[in-house]
Amino acid sequence: MSLFSWLFMFITSLIFRYCYVHRLPLYYIAVNELLINLDYYIGIPVEDIKLFLIHLTVIISLIFGYSYYYIKFKLK
The per-residue pLDDT for range 9-62, each reduced to its tens digit, is 989 999 998 877 788 888 888 888 888 888 888 887 878 888 889 889 988 988
Q: CB of 10 within 8 A of CB of 26?
A: yes
Supply φ then ψ for residue 15, to 5 degrees: -65, -45
**Rounded CA gap, 17 and 71, in Å?**
20
**Rounded CA gap, 3 and 7, in Å?**
6
Claim: this prediction has a pTM higher than 0.85: no
